[in-house]
Structure 1
Amino acid sequence: MPEKVLFKSEAKQSQSEIASYLRTVAQNLEDGKQITLKSGSDSVTMEPPANPTFEVKAEREGPTDGPGELSIELEIEWDEDAADGESGSLEIE
Protein backbone atom coordinates (compact mmCIF):
# COMPACT_ATOMS: atom_id res chain seq x y z
CA MET A 1 0.00 0.00 0.00
CA PRO A 2 1.56 3.35 -0.97
CA GLU A 3 2.34 5.84 1.76
CA LYS A 4 1.49 9.52 1.54
CA VAL A 5 3.08 11.78 4.15
CA LEU A 6 0.42 14.24 5.34
CA PHE A 7 2.72 16.10 7.75
CA LYS A 8 6.34 15.87 8.85
CA SER A 9 8.43 17.88 11.27
CA GLU A 10 11.91 17.03 12.50
CA ALA A 11 14.05 19.28 14.68
CA LYS A 12 16.28 19.03 17.71
CA GLN A 13 14.22 19.79 20.82
CA SER A 14 14.97 19.73 24.53
CA GLN A 15 13.64 16.80 26.53
CA SER A 16 11.16 19.11 28.27
CA GLU A 17 9.86 20.44 24.92
CA ILE A 18 9.35 16.88 23.64
CA ALA A 19 7.61 15.94 26.90
CA SER A 20 5.28 18.92 26.49
CA TYR A 21 4.29 17.82 22.97
CA LEU A 22 3.69 14.27 24.19
CA ARG A 23 1.58 15.53 27.12
CA THR A 24 -0.61 17.49 24.70
CA VAL A 25 -1.11 14.43 22.50
CA ALA A 26 -1.79 12.27 25.57
CA GLN A 27 -4.33 14.73 26.96
CA ASN A 28 -6.14 14.98 23.63
CA LEU A 29 -6.24 11.16 23.37
CA GLU A 30 -7.55 10.86 26.91
CA ASP A 31 -10.23 13.48 26.24
CA GLY A 32 -11.22 11.92 22.89
CA LYS A 33 -10.28 15.11 21.06
CA GLN A 34 -8.76 15.54 17.62
CA ILE A 35 -5.02 16.12 17.33
CA THR A 36 -3.72 19.00 15.22
CA LEU A 37 -0.07 19.03 14.18
CA LYS A 38 1.35 22.39 13.03
CA SER A 39 4.71 23.60 11.78
CA GLY A 40 4.90 26.94 10.03
CA SER A 41 2.14 27.02 7.41
CA ASP A 42 1.80 23.21 7.36
CA SER A 43 -0.83 21.53 9.51
CA VAL A 44 -2.96 18.41 9.68
CA THR A 45 -5.81 17.49 12.03
CA MET A 46 -6.60 13.86 12.79
CA GLU A 47 -9.24 12.14 14.92
CA PRO A 48 -7.97 8.85 16.33
CA PRO A 49 -10.71 6.34 17.18
CA ALA A 50 -11.27 5.14 20.74
CA ASN A 51 -8.96 2.12 20.27
CA PRO A 52 -6.24 2.77 17.67
CA THR A 53 -3.19 0.53 17.33
CA PHE A 54 -0.21 1.78 19.35
CA GLU A 55 3.22 0.68 18.15
CA VAL A 56 6.41 1.24 20.13
CA LYS A 57 9.87 0.53 18.71
CA ALA A 58 13.39 0.98 20.02
CA GLU A 59 15.92 0.90 17.18
CA ARG A 60 19.63 1.16 16.57
CA GLU A 61 20.67 2.08 13.05
CA GLY A 62 24.20 1.96 11.73
CA PRO A 63 27.13 -0.42 11.59
CA THR A 64 27.10 -3.44 13.88
CA ASP A 65 30.67 -2.79 15.06
CA GLY A 66 30.51 0.95 15.76
CA PRO A 67 28.36 3.78 17.05
CA GLY A 68 25.03 4.26 15.39
CA GLU A 69 21.84 6.21 15.85
CA LEU A 70 19.36 5.21 18.55
CA SER A 71 15.65 6.00 18.41
CA ILE A 72 12.39 5.46 20.21
CA GLU A 73 9.45 5.51 17.83
CA LEU A 74 5.86 5.90 19.03
CA GLU A 75 3.18 5.38 16.40
CA ILE A 76 -0.59 5.58 16.67
CA GLU A 77 -2.34 4.12 13.65
CA TRP A 78 -5.79 3.16 12.48
CA ASP A 79 -7.62 2.35 9.26
CA GLU A 80 -9.69 5.25 8.00
CA ASP A 81 -12.65 2.97 7.30
CA ALA A 82 -12.30 0.32 10.02
CA ALA A 83 -13.65 -0.15 13.51
CA ASP A 84 -11.46 0.11 16.61
CA GLY A 85 -8.31 -2.02 16.74
CA GLU A 86 -7.45 -4.94 18.98
CA SER A 87 -6.18 -4.29 22.47
CA GLY A 88 -2.79 -5.49 23.73
CA SER A 89 -0.56 -5.05 26.73
CA LEU A 90 2.37 -2.66 26.93
CA GLU A 91 4.29 -1.23 29.86
CA ILE A 92 6.52 1.85 29.64
CA GLU A 93 8.64 2.69 32.67
Structure 2
Amino acid sequence: MPEEVLFKTEEELPRTEIAEALRDAADEIESGDVTLLSDVEEQRVAVPERPRFEVELERLTDSETGDQRYELEYEIRWMK
Protein backbone atom coordinates (compact mmCIF):
# COMPACT_ATOMS: atom_id res chain seq x y z
CA MET A 1 0.00 0.00 0.00
CA PRO A 2 1.60 3.35 -0.99
CA GLU A 3 2.33 5.74 1.83
CA GLU A 4 1.38 9.41 1.65
CA VAL A 5 2.73 11.70 4.38
CA LEU A 6 0.06 14.31 5.08
CA PHE A 7 1.91 16.18 7.84
CA LYS A 8 5.33 15.98 9.46
CA THR A 9 7.27 18.19 11.81
CA GLU A 10 10.39 17.50 13.85
CA GLU A 11 12.30 19.71 16.26
CA GLU A 12 14.44 19.46 19.36
CA LEU A 13 12.56 20.72 22.45
CA PRO A 14 12.93 20.58 26.23
CA ARG A 15 11.14 17.61 27.85
CA THR A 16 8.68 19.98 29.54
CA GLU A 17 7.52 21.38 26.18
CA ILE A 18 7.21 17.89 24.72
CA ALA A 19 5.12 16.79 27.71
CA GLU A 20 2.88 19.85 27.30
CA ALA A 21 2.40 19.12 23.59
CA LEU A 22 1.49 15.50 24.39
CA ARG A 23 -1.04 16.63 27.03
CA ASP A 24 -2.61 19.00 24.50
CA ALA A 25 -2.67 16.19 21.91
CA ALA A 26 -4.32 13.85 24.43
CA ASP A 27 -7.13 16.36 24.96
CA GLU A 28 -7.70 16.63 21.20
CA ILE A 29 -7.59 12.85 20.72
CA GLU A 30 -10.12 12.42 23.52
CA SER A 31 -12.44 14.94 21.83
CA GLY A 32 -12.06 13.06 18.52
CA ASP A 33 -10.86 16.10 16.51
CA VAL A 34 -7.10 16.67 16.07
CA THR A 35 -5.50 19.72 14.45
CA LEU A 36 -1.81 19.53 13.47
CA LEU A 37 -0.06 22.88 13.00
CA SER A 38 3.34 24.03 11.85
CA ASP A 39 4.65 27.37 10.59
CA VAL A 40 3.68 26.45 7.03
CA GLU A 41 0.78 24.02 7.16
CA GLU A 42 -2.31 22.84 9.00
CA GLN A 43 -3.97 19.43 8.91
CA ARG A 44 -7.20 18.34 10.64
CA VAL A 45 -8.32 14.77 11.22
CA ALA A 46 -11.17 13.03 13.03
CA VAL A 47 -10.04 10.16 15.27
CA PRO A 48 -12.54 7.29 15.52
CA GLU A 49 -13.83 5.98 18.84
CA ARG A 50 -11.62 2.85 18.85
CA PRO A 51 -8.34 3.28 16.91
CA ARG A 52 -5.31 1.03 17.39
CA PHE A 53 -2.65 2.42 19.79
CA GLU A 54 0.99 1.31 19.62
CA VAL A 55 3.95 2.23 21.83
CA GLU A 56 7.45 1.34 20.66
CA LEU A 57 10.89 1.94 22.16
CA GLU A 58 13.88 1.22 19.91
CA ARG A 59 17.63 1.37 20.41
CA LEU A 60 19.36 2.09 17.09
CA THR A 61 23.09 1.81 16.42
CA ASP A 62 24.83 3.79 13.67
CA SER A 63 26.64 1.24 11.49
CA GLU A 64 29.55 3.60 10.77
CA THR A 65 30.21 5.20 14.17
CA GLY A 66 28.66 2.72 16.59
CA ASP A 67 26.80 5.62 18.25
CA GLN A 68 23.48 4.63 19.79
CA ARG A 69 20.23 6.56 19.92
CA TYR A 70 16.79 5.81 21.22
CA GLU A 71 13.40 6.36 19.63
CA LEU A 72 10.20 6.37 21.66
CA GLU A 73 7.15 6.36 19.39
CA TYR A 74 3.45 6.65 20.18
CA GLU A 75 1.31 5.72 17.19
CA ILE A 76 -2.44 5.85 16.68
CA ARG A 77 -3.84 4.27 13.52
CA TRP A 78 -7.14 3.29 11.97
CA MET A 79 -8.68 2.23 8.68
CA LYS A 80 -10.82 4.64 6.71
TM-score by length of 1: 0.77
Shift of 1:28: 1.6
Matches within 5 A, 1:38-77: 38-63=37-62, 66-77=66-77
Percent identity over paired residues: 38
Cα distance, 1:27 vs structure 2? 1.1
Does 1:35 pair with 2:34?
yes
Aligned length: 79
Unaligned runs of 5+ in 1: 81-93
- Root-mean-square deviation (Å): 1.7
- 3-state SS of 1:8 partner: coil
Give the counterpart letter for 1:40 in structure 2: D
Contact 2:7 2:43 in 1 (8 A): yes
Bigger share in strand = 2
Q: Contact (CA 8 Å) 2:33, 2:44: kept in 1 or not?
A: yes
